[in-house]
Amino acid sequence: MATTIDEPKTSPISTAKSPKRGVKLFVSLLLAVHLLAVFVPPYRFATRGPRGTAPTAEGMFGLLKPYIDFTYLDHGYFFFAPNPGASHLMEVTVTPDNSDGDAKPITRRYPNRDQDWPRLLYHRHFMLSEWLNSGFAPSTPPADILQSPEEWNSGNGNARSTR
């Protein structure tokens, strides 16, 4: 008796149409531009020097700046800098005023990621405080910055452009 091999059934996955070549190309181009925009800000930061930044970094950054600003990809690269700036955490100690003297002071840090839940709200608060601080520059430079007025003017220009 002869045995027959059943024909494999076609699955819906194998019969699904793949996207057109133009759509694939467009999505690939968008991904490439986004990855380039992720790469450019740290590259620009890494190529900074006394004579400016690398011309390729400035060219790419200038071209992608609107997208980088819109997606907020140019942030946080000064975190490990030698002079990272002020912290935006606030620690408060409340000492109860009572005549017994047995009340203990209460200390709390704002924002506190253990107490401020969900964590997204903690990050939102932190990012907003960072953004507001980056937009502030006093009209006159502090005494320690008077030694480098060029640096002060560039930072103050960033604050003026944010307004």
* Per-residue CA distances from 132 to 38, 62, 111, 135 (Å): 23, 24, 15, 5
> Do residues 122 and 128 lie in contact, with contact meaning Cβ atoms separated by under 8 Å?
no
**Does the pTM of the predicted model rise above 0.75?**
no
> Given this model, what pLDDT does residue 144 score?
65
pLDDT at position 163 is 47
User: Which stretches in the chain have pLDDT values below 70?
Assistant: 1-16, 76-88, 98-101, 116-120, 122, 133-163
